[in-house]
Each structure stands twice: as structure tokens, then as C-alpha cells.
A and B are shown apart, each in its own frame.
Chain A
Amino acid sequence: DGGITQSPKYLFRKEGQNVTLSCEQNLNHDAMYWYRQDPGQGLRLIYYSQIVNDFQKGDIAEGYSVSREKKESFPLTVTSAQKNPTAFYLCATRPRSVGDYGYTFGSGTRLTVV
């Protein structure tokens, strides 16, 4: 089955720790995205990447970092500099070519700071 795998599903972090959220896809999609979802806030873009070894900051990149060493993988690191990291994190992909393509989302990772 083609799809997006996000792991872990739930993650608990102590204050001051960095954590890395995994996103792996076998859809052969070029573009990958990280969104943060808070109640009542909709989806806010953290980082995105259209090709390997290249990525761009989204609207709320501060306190986060990413890498895109392989087409299939786009891990997100939540650093200790992120002041309010508790949220639902969603990874998404889409083909790079223009067309009638929506985003395909993973099932998400719920991060809680304890």
C-alpha cells in the first residue's frame, strides 16, 4: 500500500529536550510538508521541501528544524527553543507537478511536553 507513515503516534517530551518526529512516504511524491495543528487554529505550515536537499521555512519555523536527505523521508526536529511544542503534528506530501492534486496527510504525531 502506498502511503505516509508518521511515528510515533504519541510522544512525550520533557522540557529542554529535543525530539525528532519521523515522516516516511512511498508515494514517490516530490513535495513534503510539516504542519502543526492546535485546537481552533487550523493547520499552520512549519517547513516544506520540494526536492531532496532543499527545504523552505513556513509560517512558524522558529524552534524547529528539518532535513531532506532522501526523497522518502522528511524528519522534523522540535528543539528546546520551541516554547510551546505541545500540539498535533501532521506530515503531508503531494506530487510536484501542477495539477489536480491534493495533499496526502499522514496520521499524525501528538506531542506532549511534560
Chain B
Amino acid sequence: GQQVMQIPQYQHVQEGEDFTTYCNSSTTLSNIQWYKQRPGGHPVFLIQLVKSGEVKKQKRLTFQFGEAKKNSSLHITATQTTDVGTYFCAGRRLNRDDKIIFGKGTRLHILP
């Protein structure tokens, strides 16, 4: 079945350093969503990308959707302690609006 692979599984960065997580699908996606889950919390929707090559920014976060709509990335500039958590991508298959497939997430840990 379709898989959404996410790397790395864990990332430790010094506060102030940049961070990137990558998401790759085995098939073309209609759109991709990103979520953040704080330790002990629940996933919170961040953004959805729909168009090929789309780039969206939210303050220090930059989201990209690949030209082939099979991969995506989330880049955080100058990480802060509030960025700690697990970041999940979730892809929706073409012509399948009913559900999305989650990646396993990247857990970000910030070193002071």
C-alpha cells in the first residue's frame, strides 16, 4: 500500500540552529498536510500544500511541496525551545479525499 516516509526520525539541534524534516511518498499526492505534536499533547494542524512546487511560510517555518507532488519539506529557521515536539506530514492520495496517510514523524529536541 501507499507509504509516506519521513526522515529523520529524531533530530537534536542547538537552540538557534536550523532544522529540516523531509517527507516522501511512493505515489503522487493530491495535497500534503503538516502537523505539530508537543510532548504529551495531540497533533495540531499547521498547514496544507496543494500545488506542485508550492512554498508557504509561517514566521520561521517554511513548507515546500515538490514539483512531482511526491515529496515535501518543513524547514525551521533559528530554532527556539518552543519548537520542541514531533512534526508529522500527512498525504492525501489522488482521488481519495476520505483519508490521509501519516508519516511516522520527526521528533525535534532543542539543546540549550
Contacts and interface: CB of A to CB of B under 8 A. Distances in A.
Interface residues of A, number: 25
B22 interface: no
Interface in B74-95: 88, 90
Interface in A14-68: 31, 33, 35, 40-45, 48, 50, 56, 58-59
Given A43-B88, A50-B98, A102 B35 contact: yes
A43 B102 contact: yes
B5 to A, nearest CB: 10
Given A100-B48, A107-B42, A48 B35 contact: no
Interface of A: 31, 33, 35, 40-45, 48, 50, 56, 58-59, 90, 98, 100-108
Interface of B: 1, 6, 9, 33, 35, 41-48, 50, 88, 90, 97-100, 102-105
